Amino acid sequence: MTEFAPDTGFRKNRKLKDALLRHKAFSKDGFSERLFGLLFSGLVYPQIWEDPDLDMQAMELQPHHRIVTIGSGGCNMLAYLSKAPASIDVVDLNPHHIALNRLKLAAFKHLPRHTDLVRFLAMPNERSNSQAFDHFLSPKLDEASRTYWNGRKFGRRRVTVFDRNIYETGLLGRFIGAAHLLARLHGVDLKQMTKTRSIREQRQFFEEQVAPLFEKPVVRWITGRKSSLFGLGIPPQQYDELASLAADQSIAPVLKHRLEKLACHFPMRENYFAWQAFARRYASDDEGPLPTYLKPEHYEVIRANVDRVNVHHASFTELLAKEPAASRDRYILLDAQDWMTDQQLNDLWAEITRTARPGARVIFRTAAEKSVIEGRLSPAVRDQWEYSEEKSRDMTALDRSAIYGGFHIYGKKA
């Protein structure tokens, strides 16, 4: 496992600065980039917001596959372990995500039972979780991760967040909390969505209670500013992509459309992303599903394969540059390319192409609908990959997280 500095902020995080900064500090765009960087340098995603079931369907994972993925909240790489691939390399520029990924892996390996795992990672207000950390996990963690979770924030050890509700924390968790507060100020309790019992009732609640919120002046004012959406993990570049979809350059209609998909296209009993958005927690046993990696039927195989994962505080390109040619099979880029310049995209895909075995696949998501690599990669690289356009379009419709405009699949040509 590549070491990381557990308390590195944006000012010292050269990897994140290199990925994000494009403009001078005192320009409007430069200020926006640096503000986002400051916010993004803390914990952002307690839960990943890409649907790993869709990923696994698109990748058709096999036991011999060697995977490289961005870590984020860690739910995806653990779900992939349910297919027992040969190896998974996890990369992330955010040291908080690195610490969370390593903790989740340790929880699978060292907590005694599946019920203990679910209690620790999924259930709110379990006051014994920090004690479980001290007894079972802390002695087994690497020094940097142990230091991180034993470190204090606002006077309390970081790990005590698992005694409360980790999904109410992080940049995204606080954003969702602010959205709930704003809705309540307008007389809407978003948690009532969890009381619906059918798609019809979900749509009725959305159209009568949620949709009108997007016409409120304060909501339109908020969504008209790039910084207001940094809490969703949307950097300035992605905001511009989203705004380009609307005639008035406001992303309020775009967000309304994405939330409508989350609220109305999948039954609440089948969509844990909707539970996190509307209830700020996972469903209990009789209410709905847990994420794939926490389902009991996958517990033993994931636990048995934890040691096949390596977590790196590095960029995708940085990691691949150190790997042999023709050594990887599957690449999961999340939405990271939306941040990238043409040069960064070409550097990344040059390394992907060099390290890809025959039949390799790359999957990624985009804020807007179109693939971000078309017309931007050098022909020498782009010509080695085939775009599965129809399948990508079908997969986009099936993504339960609902926050992205496009899901894209590329395969290495023979």
- How far is Cα 231 from Cα 44, in angstroms, rounded to an integer? 8
Cβ-based neighbour number of residue 306 at 10 Å: 17
* pLDDT tens per residue, range 72-94: 999 999 999 999 999 999 999 99
If phi > 0 it is left, if psi is from -120 to 50 it is alpha, else beta; for residue 360 that is beta
**Helix runs in 228-341, H state only:** 236-243, 252-264, 272-278, 299-304, 316-320
Across all residues in the chain, what is the average pLDDT?
89
Enumerate the domain spans of the chain: 10-40, 52-131+292-412, 168-279
Q: pLDDT tens digits, residue range 301-319? A: 999 999 999 999 999 999 9
pLDDT tens-digit profile of 31-49? Answer: 455 555 555 557 888 999 9
Residue range 370-386, pLDDT digits in tens: 999 999 999 999 999 99
Give whichever of 17-21, 171-175, 178-182, 226-230 has the largest mean pLDDT.
178-182
Separation of alpha carbons 394 and 349, rounded Å: 24
- CA-to-CA dists, residue 122 to 277, 291, 331, angstroms: 15, 9, 27
CA-nearest of 405, 350, 88, 60 to 234 is 405
User: How far is it, in rounded angstroms, from Cα 262 to Cα 267?
Assistant: 9
CATH topology (fold) of 52-131+292-412:
Rossmann fold (3.40.50)
- Yes or no: say if 221 and 183 are a contact pair by the CB < 8 Å rule: no
The confidence score (pLDDT) of residue 313 equals: 94
pLDDT > 90 fraction of the chain, expressed in percent and rounded: 74
Q: Are the beta carbons of 15 and 314 closer than 8 angstroms?
A: yes
- Of 206, 276, 279, the C-alpha closest to 214 is 206
CA Rg value for the chain:
21
Evaluate whether 109 touches 303 at the Cβ level (below 8 Å): yes
pLDDT, residue 285, reads: 80
311/316 Cα distance (integer angstroms): 12
What average pLDDT does this structure show over 331-355? Answer: 95
The whole-angstrom separation of Cα 21 and Cα 184 is 36
